[in-house]
Structure 1
C-alpha cells in the first residue's frame, strides 16, 4: 500500500493547487459556534393540539432538534436594537400586529445595518392595466379561468403582476443543530385559575448544546465595519426562538471557531463535537494537520481552547477576547481605523 504524504500548505498554495486564482484583497470570515448546554425549548414548530413541538431533522442517521437561522437573526436584531444601532426594522413586542415596524418601505442598505447585513425583499404592487392594453395578445397565464356565469374570454384583461426586488444579505447563516439526538422529553403544565381542557398544555424540551455556522464577506457590505456588529451580536445572543419567555436558554458561545481567510469556503462547518462538556473538534484539527486549513487563520475560544494543541492557532479562554484580537487583525487587513 502506498504511503499517504501530507504537506502543510498556505491558503494561497491550496487554492492555486486547485487551479483557482487568489484575490488577496478579498477577505472572508467563517464561524462555527457552540452554545452553552441547557434545557432548550426554542423555536417551536406549529402546535399539535395542546402540544408545543420542537422542529426536528434527521442528522447523521438520528433525530435532532434544530433552531432556524431566521430565529437566530431575529435575536441578533433585538441585540442591535438594544445597542441603538440604525435599524430599518425594529421589534415591537407591545403590538403583535406590528411586531416588525418598518421605518422605510423602500429600504436603504447604506443607512440601515439590518438592510445591509441581512438583506431584504422589496415588493412592488402590480400596476392596474389600462383599457387601451386590453386588445394585446394574451396567454393562459394572463387570464382567469372562466366560470359558467362569467363574461366571454375576450372581456378579460391581462392580470396585473407585481414583482419582488431582492437584495441578498451579506450574512449567510446555517440552522442550529443539537449536538445530541432528541430524547423525547415532554413537560406537562396548565394555565392558572379554573382548569379545563384548554388550560392543559405540553411542551417538548431537549437538554443539549446547539451548533451553528456563519460566513460573511466584508466587501459584500455597503459599510464594511458592520462585520464587527455581527461578531458582537453573536457573542451576546439570548432569547432565540422563544417569544413567551417560557424557557431561558443561553445562546451565547460556549466555544467558537473563527477563520479569517482569502478562502471563500469555510471547510469546517459543524466541526465541533460535544455531548455535555469538554467539546472537541477532530474534523478541524485533521484539516489543519493535512494542510487543507492554515492554522494561522484560525481563532479558537471558550471551552474548546482548553488543552487544544496546534501550532499557529490563536487560542483564548474568553470568546470576547478572541473577537477583540481578531478585530485588530481585520482592521489592519481591511485598512479600517480601529476605534
Structure 2
C-alpha cells in the first residue's frame, strides 16, 4: 500500500489532486494540517512514500507557502559540488485540478434567506479570496454588508469551522470550499460555480523522498501523449547587479532550451546586509539534442547555488 501525505483535511483540492494522481485503490491518503507538515511527514516518516502540495493557481499565481519551503530546504542543503545541491526529496509529477468554488452554509438556504440571515463572517483559505472577489462584492450587496473574512489552513477546514459555529454557538457562518468538501462534511451548498474565472485551475506537485531505493518519474493517470518532460531548478546568482539573471538565462538560449516558466522568492543571506536577494525558480523542457553536461557546467558556473528539484512529465491537463 502506498501512503500519500496531502494538505488536508479530506475534501480539499489537494485531496482531489492526490486522488487524480494515485487513485484510491490500494493507496492510503494521509491528511496533514499544513503544507509544512506535508514536507515534514515525507522527510521524517518512512511509511509516507509521497506528498502532494499546491504550487500555483491560474488566477492569482504561486502558492508562496510551497515555494518558500522549497527555497528554505534548498538553502540548508549542503553543496555536493560548486553550488550544486541535492535536496532530500524530488518533484516527480504534477497534477491540475479545476477549482470550482461553492458558497457553503450549515443550513439549507435560499438567496432570500441569505439576505435575511444574521451572518457576519465567512471562512476560506487565503488563496481563495483573490479568486472570488467579484462574487464577494455581490454577496455584500445581497447581505447588505461586507462579511468578515476569516483565514483558515484549507477550504475543507473552512467548512468545518462553519459547521462548528452553528453546532456549538448556533451561529450561522458561511464558507467557500469545493463541492467535494461540502459533500463529505454534510454542509449545504448555497451557490455553486462562484469563481471569478470559469476555468480557474490549481497546479499541484507530487514529491518523493530521494533516499528511497530509486526515484520514479510518475506518469500519472493521464500522461501526455507526447511524453514531454519538464525540469524544475532553483538557483541564486553568483553576484548582485546588472545582468546577473540574464547571464544565466542566456545559457538556456544558447543551448536552444525552451523555458516554460520563471518565478522568484526573496531571501536574506546572513553574511550580507542586502535585503533584496532572490531565489529564482525556472522550469524548462527536456530535449534529446541538448548536451546537458555542458549546459549544467555553464549554468552552474554563473550561480552561487543551483538545485535541481526534479524531472516530471507534463500533465496533459496543462494544455486544456
Give me the TM-score of the superposition, normalised by structure 1: 0.23
- Which of 1 and 2 has greater Rg? 1
Greater strand proportion? 2
Give me the TM-score of the superposition, normalised by structure 2: 0.24
